Chain A
């Protein structure tokens, strides 16, 4: 078990490296520089900025300069040309990229995501430190809604199979899967905040602010969990060992709670990994609708502002989150099912 966990944690490292590299390549390959959109700054200032963010690497510029010099230009003229357009040649670009990659990676390994491109006086770490706890709170509230409603509705549906309770629960579940959260969110705001005036429509200042966003984010997963719970329980109560439990004269409560529920809930537990990914993705739009200051909101703003260091850090942080969540799910699955072997 201990060895299994260590091996799985080691297995996370290459995946993270892939995600890091993927976002890095996207960022490098994007046309235009990060500072193009701003008002023109003196060349010297721009150069210093680019040096600071390792978008320009003096070694690469000089190393490849003589070899790439175009005929008829003096070294000084060539250098002046390059000054105006850094990384103009492909080999130089690759060289700079490699340096930047190494620089960023070593920073990431040390837990330093560097400064934001957009807000130059704030580090990415500050954004993550303020945004992540909010997103985690939102995710937890949503997960509570999803599990409570999903398990409840699923169990009721399974016990009342083919009766009206079952049809009602499953119809509601399918509806829950089909209503996009960005439709549900505004509708709920309209009903509960603007019409009934029960709950605040936006921001994040206490528990009453969490109810609508949490429900909106968790609703879809409640629906999926209800379907999985129902299916799993119906599958299990057909098993021979449930008949054995009844033949032993156990009370119905024990038959369900001790014998049926473990096997019945295995599909739900394995679903929690993907659900986690969904919650993170969903938080992007939920945080925007409800004006919640979490990292999902920062991410969209960062992407739209081309604040790529921040956007990239959010991607990597989320990936770490997901990988750890998946690992936890696998461990729980192993604890629930003695047949699972940690190989």
Chain B
């Protein structure tokens, strides 16, 4: 087995829309070493989630289209794999946690049904055996009184508890790769910390690798080993978490960092939002898509998309001026 659990090469996800093609993901490359955590950071609409959907075969086709040079999971190209093969991987070797536990759990089915069906599908377990496993997993994710709560329905759980159910559901088959798509965005701040803590502990216990998708660099700090910053469907900067926080190179990364509240910041330093909106994916501006919002853009930025420059192992940036 290679040391990379996931290696994505030049992935594209496109959607046919009224009057053209929306390039949701436009040539993304990622690497994730085994047992590590990669944070994919960007504003909503930057293509972070779509990248993962593309890899996992969750893009509806049509209107979507997925292509690229490969997405190797344990050396197996997921882009070349058929839907049937992907289905056996999803939920078993690769599991996903979604952003909004209010809508991501089926309101019509009991928690028990939603947990046991995963084990039934992948492990061929009887419902009874699956129930025992599910109970244990619920206990592990910190749901009190699981024997009673397992037969309840999602609407009877609080937001934080629902997210714990989501996590339990994802971890049932002890996946090699866990994709957490904004796992804390819909939750209260105090609950956020608990959920992140839980994810970290369980990840260590199961030895899983994790992709943490977030728009909040505050979540990244202390939770990720590597960071990839995405903008308008492209990775604009890549590096270790340490490097990204210490020495951000891309103006967009700098902007994101400046908009995060920090405890160690000097008193006077203010939070600065990035002005403007991400571009419409059907009508990307010429050259660098961040140019309209970039404080340091030059003539050159309007002409061509900046080449990706490698600055060392796993350290890349795509900016003419960085």
Chain A positions within 8 Å of B, measured between CB atoms, are: 239-241, 243-251, 254, 258-259, 262-263, 336-339
Contacts and interface: CB of A to CB of B under 8 A. Distances in A.
Contacts of A246: 58, 90
Given A243-B58, A248-B169, A337 B117 contact: no
* Interface residues of A, dominant DSSP: helix
Nearest to B117: A250
Contact of A337 (B92, B96, B100, B108): B108
Given A243-B98, A339-B153, A248 B107 contact: no
B92 A249 contact: yes
A244 B106 contact: yes
A254 B116 CA distance: 13
Contacts of A240: 98, 100, 103-104
B54 interface: no
Nearest to A238: B60
Given A249-B86, A249-B118, 11 more contacts: A239-B103, A244-B104, A244-B106, A248-B95, A248-B117, A249-B88, A249-B91, A250-B121, A337-B108, A338-B110, A339-B153
A165 to B, nearest CB: 15
A338 B106 CA distance: 11
Contacts, number: 74
B155 interface: yes
B108 A336 contact: yes
Interface of B: 56, 58, 86-92, 95-96, 98, 100, 103-110, 113, 117-118, 121-122, 153, 155, 166, 169
Given A240-B100, A258-B117, A339-B155, A247 B91 contact: yes
Contacts of B104: 240-241, 243-244
Contacts of A251: 87, 121
Contacts of B58: 243, 246-247
A249 to B, nearest CB: 3
A267 B146 CA distance: 33
B90 A248 contact: yes
A338 B103 CA distance: 15
Given A254-B117, A338-B155, A241 B105 contact: yes
The 7 lowest CB-CB distance pairs between A and B, nearest first, are A249-B91, A249-B90, A248-B91, A240-B103, A241-B106, A338-B153, A247-B96
A119 to B, nearest CB: 53
Nearest to B88: A249
B163 to A, nearest CB: 12
23 contacts: A243-B98, A244-B104, A244-B105, A244-B166, A245-B106, A247-B96, A247-B98, A248-B117, A248-B118, A248-B121, A248-B169, A249-B87, A249-B88, A249-B90, A249-B92, A249-B121, A254-B121, A259-B106, A336-B108, A338-B107, A338-B108, A339-B107, A339-B153
